[in-house]
Amino acid sequence: MNQDLRHQLKALIIEACDKDCSPDDIADDEILFGPEAPLQLDSLDALQISMAIKKTYGLRLPDSKDTRRVLSCVANMADHLENWLATRS
């Protein structure tokens, strides 16, 4: 499921942040935020992604240091979401 989930998350990021690229353009472990990041996402994008994850998966990401780590790359998001989903079933 992880590869499918990663692809879904990339599509979610592109839609939530209104980026003009393909999910295939985003590497699983590429840093998403900051001026040196290929997508150059910012704090508003982080909020949009958090809201989209809550709407799509039901997972609320509180504003915390842990959330910043989770949102730092697609691989971290997928792992966190997968672990959360596993505890719910």
* 3 state SS of 47: helix
The predicted model scores a pTM of 0.93
- Per-residue pLDDT, averaged over 64-68, amounts to 88
Contact 32, 39 (CB under 8 A): yes
Please choose, from the candidates 68, 72, 58, the residue with its C-alpha nearest in 3D space to the C-alpha of residue 28. 72
More confident residue, 85 or 89: 85
The CATH number linked to 59 is: 1.10.1200.10
CA distances to 12, 31, 66, 71 from 50, in Å: 10, 16, 13, 8
With a cut of 60, say whether residue 66 has pLDDT above it.
yes
Residue 64 is predicted with a pLDDT of 84
Tokens 């942040």 belong to 17
pLDDT tens sequence across 22-53: 999 999 999 999 999 999 999 999 999 999 99
* 3 state SS of 19: coil
Residue 89 is predicted with a pLDDT of 74
Tokens of 52: 């989209």
Give the count of domains, the chain. Answer: 1
Domain enclosing residue 55, as ranges: 2-88
Contact 10, 27 (CB under 8 A): no
